[in-house]
Amino acid sequence: MTKHEALKKYYGYDSFRPGQEELVDALLAGRDALGIMPTGAGKSICYQIPAVLLPGTTLVISPLISLMKDQVASLNQMGIPAAFLNSSLTSGQYGETVAEMKRGAYKILYVAPERLLTEGFLKAVAEISVNFISIDEAHCISQWGQDFRPGYLHILDFIRRLPVRPVIGAFTATATREVREDILALLDMKDPMQMTTGFDRPNLKFTVYNDGNKWRTTEAILKEHEGECGMIYCLTRKTVEEVCMELIRAGYSATRYHAGLSDEERRKNQEDFLYDRARIMVATNAFGMGIDKSNVRYVIHYNMPKNIESYYQEAGRAGRDGLPAECILLYSGQDVVTNQFFIDQMQTPDGMDEEAGAAIREREQERLKKMTAYCLTNQCLREFILGYFGEYGDGYCGNCSNCLTHFDLVDVTETVRNILGFIRACPWRYGMSTITDGLRGKMNARMGKRGLQENPYFGSCQEIPVYQLRQILNHLVLEGYLAVTEDRYPVVRMLQRAEAFTEEDVVQMKMAREEKKSKPAFEKKSYGKNTGSWSREDADPSLFEKLRALRLSIARDEKLPPYIIFSDKTLVHMCILAPVTREEMLQVSGVGELKYEKYGWRFLEEINDWKKSEKDKK
């Protein structure tokens, strides 16, 4: 069987996506390979096709139980024998899986990194032929990565204990230069073929809101995505509980996930979301890594994450099927304070000296500053993210809130003079809220106690709305005039550039043009210039719902998540092509021969029945 025959037979695709074929070729030729591809770009195919075609058993080292279960279920549905070994198995199940592995029953075996050096596993692996090892989520091996996992440091020791060194493949969605160098060095990769397909996800629309009312904004977003699956990320367990409760009270189908729940409740809630029994998952960052749910149409970050790597990975869980999806971040200054608290509480990992631990915390501080800058910038949001990973475009994507907002260049010099004058005349340093209140002349007990009404600039900006004053203050921080301390109670201090400000200096900044609207505007058709994909709007809604209902019925009978049967993208393509024969159904993206024999014929019957009913209506 050739690589193209395997791609069609098992996955139902006629051609590889960018970067996939080069990685497959390298691995089949016996060369190590590092693939850095965005979420949804098809990394798993890059190691699964070589695993099918190479002799022996392929080991896939993976960090999470949920990821393993998802991948193994999908592979078995496609007709590729696969299994996993992790702590979710009983001793009996584990022993049975090992016995089957020794018998050569599996082409692909998923295993957690912590299990590699256990005596039982080393003994079992010595009895089989391992020609290829793939490391998924490879950024976990780097202390500079956002999900550093000490167990990944044992991978090289495990490889060196094998009688013959296998081909090594490493894959991740997000990796800065330092992380890439760590992956190559810590896995001792030999002359690897390196493929970075780019970090861009053109089907994702990026939006940042800073309007102060997160719940109201969330409600507006959910109304635009009624009946669709989505995720809401929160920084703390408390916020998860509060948001989930509000959603349930408002009549939404929602569930929650965080480390404070029992293992059983987390498992149940995760399955409710994966099986579409709950439409919305509210969670901390403990949820989502390795979740391959393809029909997530939006990801809301109720709070700002700690760094851009985490944000892009979590936001990237939207639109994995390639159809348009939205990534929305609701920012507030308190999010910065909360993230700073988490950084301050970071413990030095076991086996690492304090100096290295301090370096990690310092690096996290810099990442937090970059994440904050993303929330405050007026430049293209996509360009900001891609620039962080070392990619640069034309500065306009047409598919983010900044590119879709009309900005005017405004002279704010006079306001800046008042702001700097107020700060300079204060006897002590204060936070942004106190400075904003003083500039607007807001008289209260706090002002009186501190004597700020005596400041010559008190009330000098009373005609300027609070949100605009905050925008200007944030602009001064980004431009290096002011700094906000990283204390528990952050205060604003002037930097050299502000101290040197003169009468001749001019400050201009881009400000959004005022538009009258009662709620955030979400345009379903504003998917930008580069999506290169059809969307739900291209499918007949009645046929799509019939196919989705059939998929759900099959999934319940098979006890599988619906997207493992067929993705939304495949259902949409069925609606567009409306096949009437087996040959035509096999032209649908995502329908392979084995999937057709299992399920495709039932969808074909449903389409033919729908066509007859539509004809009868006429």
Tens of pLDDT, residue by residue over 438-484, are 899 888 777 777 788 888 999 999 888 887 888 888 888 888 899 88
**pLDDT reported for residue 520:** 44
In a domain, 398, yes or no: no
Q: How many CA atoms lie within 13 A of 366 on its CB side?
A: 7
Q: 548 and 481 in one domain?
A: no
Give the domain CATH number at 65: 3.40.50.300
- Which tops the pLDDT comparison, 24 or 532? 24
pLDDT at 3 over 90: yes
Q: pLDDT class for 250, splitting at 50, 70, 90?
A: very high
Q: What is the rounded CA–CA span in Å between residue 86 and residue 112?
A: 6
Tell me the C-alpha distance between 548 and 125, whole Å: 42
Quick one: 171 and 33 in the same domain?
A: yes
Q: Per-residue pLDDT tens for 202-244?
A: 899 999 998 778 999 999 999 999 889 999 999 999 999 999 9
In the chain, the percentage of residues whose pLDDT exceeds 90 is: 40
pLDDT band at 487 (very low <50, low <70, confident <90, very high): low
Region of 276 (left: φ > 0; alpha: ψ -120 to 50; beta: rest) is: left
- Alpha helix locations (H) across 167-297? 177-186, 214-224, 237-249, 263-274
Let me know whether 169 and 284 are in one domain: no
CB atoms within 10 A of CB 204: 28
Residue 275 inside a domain? The answer is yes
Q: In this structure, are 232 and 216 located in the same domain?
A: yes
Query: What percent of the chain is predicted at pLDDT more than 70?
Result: 94
Distance of CA 360 to the CA centre of its chain: 22
The reported pLDDT for the residue numbered 334 is 86
Question: Residue 601 belongs to what domain range?
Answer: 536-617
Q: Give the angle subtended at the CA of 105 by the CAs of 101 and 106, to the nearest 5°.
A: 75
553 and 494, same domain (yes or no) = no
Q: Which residue has the tokens 């008289």?
A: 443
Residues 347 and 421 in one domain: no
Task: Looking at the structure, tell me whether residues 310 and 416 fall in a common domain.
Answer: no
Give yes or no: residues 117 and 188 share one domain: yes
pLDDT, residue 151, reads 84
Mean pLDDT of 98-119: 91
The encoded tokens of residue 519 equal 């709620």
Rounded to an integer, what distance in angstroms lies between the CA atom of residue 520 and that of residue 396?
21
Last residue of a domain, one of 138, 162, 196: 196
401 in a structural domain: no
Same domain, 564 and 470: no
- Tell me the average pLDDT of the chain: 86
Tokens 């009895």 sit at which residue?
Answer: 127
Tell me if 318 is assigned to some domain.
Answer: yes
Domain boundary (512, 528, 547) is at 512
Mean local confidence (pLDDT), 268-281: 91
pLDDT at 288: 67
Q: By C-alpha distance, which of 249, 265, 201, 591 is closest to 400?
A: 201
Tokens of 574: 């069925």
pLDDT of residue 33: 95
Question: pLDDT band for position 263 (50/70/90)?
Answer: confident
Total number of domains in the chain: 4
Per the domain annotation, does 302 fall within a domain? yes
pLDDT at 525: 39
On the question of pLDDT at 430 being above 90, the answer is no
pLDDT at 564: 86
CA dihedral 360, 363, 364, 368 (to 10 degrees): 180
Is the domain of 311 the same as that of 351?
yes
Q: Can you give 471-512 as a three-state secondary structure string?
A: HHHHHHHHCCCEEECCCCCCCEEECHHHHCCCCCCCCEEEEE
At which residue do the structure tokens 């290169």 appear? 532
One domain for residues 223 and 338 = yes
Q: Is residue 552 part of a domain?
A: yes
Reported as a single tens digit per residue, the pLDDT across 168-207 is: 999 988 777 888 889 999 999 989 999 988 788 889 999 9
User: Is 71 contained in some domain?
Assistant: yes
pTM of the model: 0.72
Residue 113 has pLDDT above 50, yes or no: yes
Closest CA to 372 of 299, 308, 301: 308
**9-60 residue pLDDT tens:** 898 888 898 899 999 999 999 999 999 987 777 889 999 999 999 999 999 9
375 domain-assigned: yes
Burial 297-323 (b: 16+ CB within 10 A, else e): bbbbbbbbbbbbbbbbbbbbbbbbbbb
User: In the structure encoding, which two tokens stand for residue 262, read together?
Assistant: 């029992």
Check whether residue 192 and residue 232 sit in a common domain: no
Q: Is the pLDDT assigned to residue 66 strictly greater than 70?
A: yes
CATH number at residue 503: 1.10.10.10
User: Apex CA 417: angle with CA 413 and CA 422, to 5°?
Assistant: 150
Domain end among 512, 544, 564: 512
Q: Residue 523: which pLDDT band, with cuts at 50, 70 and 90? A: very low
User: Tokens representing 69?
Assistant: 């279960």
Torsion of CA 373, 379, 385, 386, to 10 degrees: -140
pLDDT above 90: residue 293: no
